[in-house]
Amino acid sequence: MVNEHEHDHEHRHITIVDEQGNEQLCEVIHTFDSEEFGKSYVLYSIIGADEDEDGQIEIFASSFVPSENGEDGELQPIETDEEWDLIEDVLNALEDQLDDEDEE
């Protein structure tokens, strides 16, 4: 089961550090919890990233471990193919939801 966090479409941002040690400001697209894996996940994109030839932006996914104070936390890499399958299902559901909203 997936528990999705609903927010008022306010822009939420996180800062990540890339492989070169550069800080990148990212927009949080969606967060959700998985009872199956006992983890929280965040989907995000880098602000200012270029679109591909299809007009799409790259979306990144990480598991999220909140800090004890609950104000910040640590991103962890996705570890298994099963987790990637879950993330793909969530992304597809989000895309379907956006398509439905566009049709209204």
The pLDDT profile of the chain, 104 residues, written as one tens digit per residue, is: 444 444 444 568 888 888 899 899 999 999 999 999 999 999 999 998 888 888 888 999 999 887 777 667 789 999 999 999 999 999 999 888 877 766 66
The residue among 70, 90, 65, 62 whose CA lies nearest residue 2 is 90
pTM, two decimal places? 0.78
Answer for the pair 25, 47: CB distance below 8 angstroms, yes or no.
Answer: yes
pLDDT of 103: 66
The Cα–Cα gap between 24 and 19 comes to: 11
pLDDT of 35: 93
pLDDT of 11: 67
pLDDT of 10: 58
Domain definitions of the chain by residue range: 2-103
pLDDT of 8: 42
pLDDT of 31: 92
R_g of the chain computed on alpha carbons? 14
Instruction: Give SS3 for 37.
Output: coil
Q: Please enumerate, as own/partner, the contacts of 67-76 that have beta carbons within 8 Å and a separation of 24 or more.
A: 75/14, 75/16, 75/42
